[in-house]
């Protein structure tokens, strides 16, 4: 595919939906990573006519450079460290930050979905969606989180991913679908979009509230 950039996240979602067409109306759940991944994921779930849910992961930023990810943590507390981070980090600081990010993940689920439990992926195709990948830490921990449910198949669908990270994802997921796998990654996911505005909590909550699961569409 010659595609090199997207107009916005919605367009990226529609492109991914085309690649995922064989999963239409199957025993499948789309799990989006908030926040930006939800805008992509709702387009996928709507096109495939399958349920939409969340898999929430949180980045652990370096204490001296919060934008630089040294690890990621899942809702259940599983931690994945960045193997490229050689400098020692205070163990007490790291443990406190992991706990803080777990609490933030729980806050987000409550804000977005209230008390609704995540749909189990057991025996289903699990499609994990984000708006793009940089280091891959958040995506890789999301795969581990969903695989705890023992899905039938784990599929990662992202608009853009660096080529070296794509190889790591392929080791953990059953399938990777990405229209842009870049050997010369531009350094940031936003570089592949014309419009890449920050997505708010309210926008995520509204998307999830407005999305009608397929099982409810025929109900009066």
User: What domains are defined for the chain?
Assistant: 9-56+116-211 (3.40.50.2020)
pLDDT digits (tens, 9 = 90+) for 37-49: 999 999 999 999 9
Amino acid 216: pLDDT:
62
Q: Count CA atoms closer than 13 A to 154's CA, side-chain side.
A: 22
Amino acid 170: pLDDT:
97
Question: 39 near 200, Cβ under 8 Å?
Answer: no
Q: Report the chain's mean pLDDT, rounded to a whole number.
A: 92
Share of the chain above pLDDT 90, in %: 80
pLDDT digits (tens, 9 = 90+) for 51-70: 999 999 999 988 888 878 88
pLDDT digits (tens, 9 = 90+) for 62-113: 888 887 888 999 998 889 988 777 667 888 999 999 999 999 999 999 999 9
pLDDT digits (tens, 9 = 90+) for 164-200: 999 999 999 999 999 999 999 999 999 999 999 999 9
Amino acid 1: pLDDT:
45
Amino acid 50: pLDDT:
97
């Amino acid at each position: 595919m010659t595609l090199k950039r997207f107009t916005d996240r919605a367009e990226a979602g529609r492109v991914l939906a085309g690649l995922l067409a064989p999963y239409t109306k199957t025993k499948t759940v789309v799990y989006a990573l908030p926040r930006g991944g939800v805008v992509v994921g709702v387009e996928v779930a709507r096109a495939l006519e399958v349920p939409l849910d969340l898999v929430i992961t949180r980045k652990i930023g370096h204490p001296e450079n919060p934008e630089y990810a040294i690890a990621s943590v899942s809702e259940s507390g599983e931690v994945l460290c960045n193997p490229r981070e050689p400098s020692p980090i205070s163990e007490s600081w790291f443990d406190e930050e992991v706990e803080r990010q777990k609490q933030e993940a729980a806050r987000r689920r409550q804000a977005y979905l209230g008390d609704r439990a995540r749909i189990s992926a057991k025996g289903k195709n699990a499609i994990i969606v984000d708006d793009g990948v940089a280091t891959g830490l958040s995506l890789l921990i999301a795969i581990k989180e969903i695989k705890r449910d023992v899905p039938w198949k784990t599929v990662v669908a992202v608009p853009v991913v660096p080529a070296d990270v794509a190889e790591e994802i392929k080791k953990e997921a059953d399938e990777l679908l990405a229209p842009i796998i870049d050997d010369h990654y531009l350094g940031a996911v936003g570089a592949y979009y014309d419009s890449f505005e920050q997505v708010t909590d309210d926008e995520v909550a509204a998307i999830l509230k407005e999305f009608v699961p397929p099982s409810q569409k025929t109900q009066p």
